[in-house]
Structure 1
Amino acid sequence: MINQDTIIALATPSGAGAIAIIRLSGKDAIGLVESHFRSISGKTLVKQKTHTIHLGHIIDKNRTIDEVLISIFKNPNSYTGEDVIEISCHGSNYIQQEIIQLFLRKGCRMATAGEFTLRAFLNGKLDLSQAEAVADLISSDNEASHQIAMQQMRGGFSSEIAKLREELLNFASLIELELDFAEEDVEFADRIQFKDLIERIVFVLKRLIDSFAVGNVIKNGIPVAIVGEPNVGKSTLLNALLNEERAIVSDIAGTTRDTIEDEISIGGMGFRFIDTAGIRDTKDVVESIGIKKTFEKIDQAQVVIYLFDALDFKVSSSRFQVEIEKIKNKYPQKPLLVIANKIDKLSEEEIFSLKSKISYVELLSAKTNIGVDTLQEKLLSFVNTGALRNNDTIVTNSRHYDSLLKAFEGIEKVKEGLEFGLSGDLLAIDIRQALYHFGEITGEITNDDLLGNIFANFCIGK
């Protein structure tokens, strides 16, 4: 499947900038650039050492396109495992396109999405889970997702899987060997050691599977729905959390008629806040649609913030208490933060009275930022970051999660087979199935469709 042609692509974001990097990879990469490069010091690129940088000009016939820096990475010590050239040129759109078009005319091909990383995988520079981590690293937008992607790209996850697969493969070989000597009734695989290995694999698989719940949230951000009656300060709270005027704020009830979403990082963790339309009975058709969307967003949220006006609570506390109980009963599995807003307008006696009626209430003034820091700390407390602190492996990829579930199912069958004393040939079938799904994760077992689906999500140039 490895193409032998030379590919080219812009490796930096498209558009004008100070510097742009154009990347070539393939057996003719150095020779092609050599034919259109004039070194300031008269160097010949093909004679230069790997991992060196050279100043000169890109020339098209007698026309100088740009002064550039050429970085050389010779195979096999390059990202793709092939000869790689990176051309650092000035960031003009015109210059970028002139250089790319020049080498396309000379026989290069435009790289497809993720093709540089695909070549790295096919040439054994990365396994499949590490290659996928490259895309996660590029898209990481907070400390937690960056840390997980870096750990996976360094091989933390794949090495754990590979070690288990190797041990299981060794036992599988011994059991397969028993089948060749079936008439002699011998056991090459120690069943007690095999049971210990299976127990260890079950433990590790359970931990990895369970980590996906946290990993998926960390990777995609934690959705937090801000709900409550109209005009209680939901949009003001969103603006206070984001530290910008993201949502329209007014004294008119029902100003927010659609959901507004934005993301921030708190303590290195991504949170996606959803400001919803106020919940109330209304005859306004547009507002009714917004309220319907509010309940849809609560369904999708990981955490719910119920915000109420502390001044209104003084007048009619029972109404809010009924609404809080409704949300608790409807969404018993979701963490619920009950927050009294506008507490800067209450006396100490009124605050004491409020807390006596709802002991778990959080006090806040979105307008003056009182209690915003405490709210952020509470939100962080809902996220299990212990695995990150302990540097444990966390699964964030749904493809890996699916393969782990299938591998776990196969291992459970092997475990049952051992307990019931099944023959080696039947055990071997279930072991092969588990090994297959382990191999899917790291890429020992792949097909063109799988690779196409994975690398199609990469950016071009990576």
Structure 2
Amino acid sequence: MLNQDTIVALATPSGSGAIGIIRVSGKDALSICNLLFKSKKGLPLLQQKSHTLQLGHIVDGERILDEVLISVFKGNKSYTGEPTVEISCHGSAFIQKEIIQLLMQKGCRAANAGEFTLRAFLNGKMDLSQAEAVADLIASDNAASHQLAMQQMRGGFTNELAVLRKELLDFASLIELELDFAEEDVEFANKEEFQSLVTKIQKVLSRLIDSFAVGNVLKNGIPVAIIGEPNVGKSTLLNALLNEDRAIVSDIAGTTRDTIEDEISIGGIGFRFIDTAGIRETQDQIEGLGIKKTFEKIEQAQVVIQLLNSPDLFDEGQALIQERINNIKLELDKLAAQFPERPFILLANKVDELTEQQQALLKSALPKIQFISAKQKIGIEELQAQLLNFVDTGALRNNDAIVTNSRHYSALLLALEEINKVQEGLNMGLSSDLLAIDIRQALFHFGEITGQVTNDELLGNIFANFCIGK
């Protein structure tokens, strides 16, 4: 699959800026760039040492296109594992386009999405999981997702799997050898040691599979649904959390008819807040669809914020309206029964309009209630702190291996299934030839993660999601 073409692409975002970097990689990278580059020192690019910079001009015949700084990486000592040149030019979109077109006229081909990283993988500069982590690193927008991507780029759990795979492969080789001497009834593989290895692999795979529940939400942002009756201040709360006017705020009930989502980082963790349509009985078909979507978002959320309009819970004599309190309790019990694994935060909005006595009465009636004022931004920091408490960041703090990729998760599940079959075979005293079948399948799924087992379709799907130039 390794294409021998010399490829070129803009490695920095397109558009105007201070500088732009054009990356050229392939066996003819230096010779093609040498045709266009005139060093101020008169040194031909082909004679320049690897990992050095040189100032000069990109020229088209007698026409000077730009003054540039060129980086040279010779042999396999580059990101892609092949000769590479990086041209740092001025950030004019016109200049970048002219240089790239000139390079293509001289023999380069426009790079496909992720082709530089694909070549790095095919040339053995990184395994497949590390290559996938490159895309995650580029997409990271908070401290947690950045840490997870960096951990995976450094090897992450694949280093641990590589050791286990080698040990399993060694035993597989001994078992295969036994098959060659089946008539002599010879045992090469120590069954007790093999049992210990199988148990160890089961524990490691189970731990990694369990880590995906944390890793997936940390990578993609933890979804938090804000629910409640119409006009209780859900959109105002969203705006307060985001510190911007993201959602339309109005005194008219039912203003939000669809979900509004936005993400912020709290304590280095990404949270995706979802402002939902108010839950109530309605004859409005469009609003009804919004309410239906609200329940869909509760299903998808990791945390649910139930928002109440606290002044509405008191009568004109400042006494609690017991019927409303009972209805709230029934509604909370119903939601808890419908979504038993969702942590709920009960918030009373507009605390600035309550007296201390009213707050005490409300607290006694609903012990888990917390007070905020979304408009005045009272209690927002305390809410953010509580949201962080719902996130299990212990593994992240301890720098433990965490699985974030759904492809890796699927392969780990399949590998564990095969290892469990090996364990069942050992318990039943199955012959080596039957054990060998399940061991081979387990090794296959191990290899899928790191890229020892690949096909063009798999690689195409992975690298199609990369940006051009990486």
Q: TM-score, normalised by structure 1?
A: 0.98
- 1:381-427 residue CA offsets vs partner (Å, 9 max, x unmatched): 11111110111111111111111011001100111111111111111
User: After the TM superposition, which residues 60-79 of structure 1 pair with which residues of structure 2 at under 5 Å, given as runs?
Assistant: 60-79=60-79
The Cα RMSD (Å) is: 1.0
User: After the TM superposition, which residues 68-107 of structure 1 pair with which residues of structure 2 at under 5 Å, given as runs?
Assistant: 68-107=68-107
Kindly indicate whether residue 433 of structure 2 is the aligned counterpart of residue 413 of structure 1.
Answer: no
- 1:174 — aligned with what? 174
User: After the TM superposition, which residues 179-198 of structure 1 pair with which residues of structure 2 at under 5 Å, given as runs?
Assistant: 179-198=179-198
- 2:376 — aligned with what? 368
How far did residue 282 of structure 1 move?
2.1
What amino acid is aligned across from residue 128 of structure 1 in structure 2? L
- 2:113 — aligned with what? 113
Kindly indicate whether residue 345 of structure 2 is the aligned counterpart of residue 337 of structure 1.
Answer: yes
How far did residue 33 of structure 1 move?
0.6
Distance (whole Å) between structure 1 residues aligned to residue 287 and residue 464 of structure 2: 40
Distance (whole Å) between structure 1 residues aligned to residue 169 and residue 289 of structure 2: 57
- 1:284 — aligned with what? 284
Once structures 1 and 2 are overlaid, which stretch shifts more, 409-418 or 322-331? 322-331
SS at match of 2:288: helix
Distance (whole Å) between structure 1 residues aligned to residue 151 and residue 258 of structure 2: 39
- 1:25 — aligned with what? 25
What amino acid is aligned across from residue 157 of structure 1 in structure 2? F
- 1:428 — aligned with what? 436
Distance (whole Å) between structure 1 residues aligned to residue 157 and residue 101 of structure 2: 40
Distance (whole Å) between structure 2 residues aligned to residue 436 and residue 324 of structure 1: 48
Distance (whole Å) between structure 2 residues aligned to residue 305 and residue 150 of structure 1: 32
SS at match of 2:292: helix
SS at match of 2:54: strand
Once structures 1 and 2 are overlaid, which stretch shifts more, 195-204 or 176-185? 176-185
How far did residue 83 of structure 1 move?
0.4
SS at match of 2:280: coil
How far did residue 347 of structure 1 move?
1.3
Identify which of 353, 364, 371 aligns with 1:356.
Answer: 364
Distance (whole Å) between structure 2 residues aligned to residue 437 and residue 229 of structure 1: 49
What amino acid is aligned across from residue 346 of structure 1 in structure 2? L
- 1:401 — aligned with what? 409
How far did residue 81 of structure 1 move?
0.5
- 1:86-132 residue CA offsets vs partner (Å, 9 max, x unmatched): 00111111101100000111111111111000000000001000000
SS at match of 2:417: helix
- 2:146 — aligned with what? 146
Distance (whole Å) between structure 2 residues aligned to residue 262 and residue 62 of structure 1: 52
What amino acid is aligned across from residue 219 of structure 1 in structure 2? K
- 1:248-283 residue CA offsets vs partner (Å, 9 max, x unmatched): 112222222221111001111111111111111222
- 2:39 — aligned with what? 39
Distance (whole Å) between structure 1 residues aligned to residue 363 and residue 104 of structure 2: 71
SS at match of 2:133: helix
Distance (whole Å) between structure 1 residues aligned to residue 166 and residue 351 of structure 2: 61
Q: Which runs of 5+ in 1 are unaligned?
A: none
What amino acid is aligned across from residue 452 of structure 1 in structure 2? G
How far did residue 305 of structure 1 move?
0.6
Aligned residue pairs: how many? 462
What amino acid is aligned across from residue 122 of structure 2 in structure 1? L
- 1:225 — aligned with what? 225
Percentage identity across aligned positions?
A: 69
SS at match of 2:134: helix
SS at match of 2:404: coil
SS at match of 2:124: coil
Identify which of 394, 397, 414 aligns with 1:389.
Answer: 397
User: After the TM superposition, which residues 172-321 of structure 1 pair with which residues of structure 2 at under 5 Å, given as runs?
Assistant: 172-314=172-314, 315=321, 316-321=324-329
Distance (whole Å) between structure 2 residues aligned to residue 361 and residue 2 of structure 1: 61
Distance (whole Å) between structure 2 residues aligned to residue 120 and residue 415 of structure 1: 37
What amino acid is aligned across from residue 288 of structure 2 in structure 1? S
Kindly indicate whether residue 446 of structure 2 is the aligned counterpart of residue 438 of structure 1.
Answer: yes
How far did residue 321 of structure 1 move?
2.2
Q: TM-score, normalised by structure 2?
A: 0.97
Distance (whole Å) between structure 2 residues aligned to residue 130 and residue 111 of structure 1: 20
- 2:318 — aligned with what? none
SS at match of 1:435: helix
How far did residue 325 of structure 1 move?
2.0
- 1:32-77 residue CA offsets vs partner (Å, 9 max, x unmatched): 1111101111112111111111110000011100110101111211
- 2:317 — aligned with what? none
Identify which of 330, 335, 348 aligns with 1:327.
Answer: 335
SS at match of 1:49: coil
SS at match of 1:307: strand
What amino acid is aligned across from residue 261 of structure 1 in structure 2? E
Contact 1:68 1:88 in 2 (8 A): yes
What amino acid is aligned across from residue 14 of structure 1 in structure 2? S
Distance (whole Å) between structure 2 residues aligned to residue 410 and residue 321 of structure 1: 48
How far did residue 428 of structure 1 move?
0.8
What amino acid is aligned across from residue 67 of structure 1 in structure 2? E
- 1:123 — aligned with what? 123
Contact 1:308 1:320 in 2 (8 A): no
Distance (whole Å) between structure 2 residues aligned to residue 243 and residue 169 of structure 1: 55
How far did residue 356 of structure 1 move?
0.7
Contact 1:313 1:320 in 2 (8 A): no
- 1:324-376 residue CA offsets vs partner (Å, 9 max, x unmatched): 22211221111111111111111111111111111111111111111111111
Distance (whole Å) between structure 1 residues aligned to residue 199 and residue 336 of structure 2: 39
SS at match of 2:212: helix
How far did residue 2 of structure 1 move?
1.3
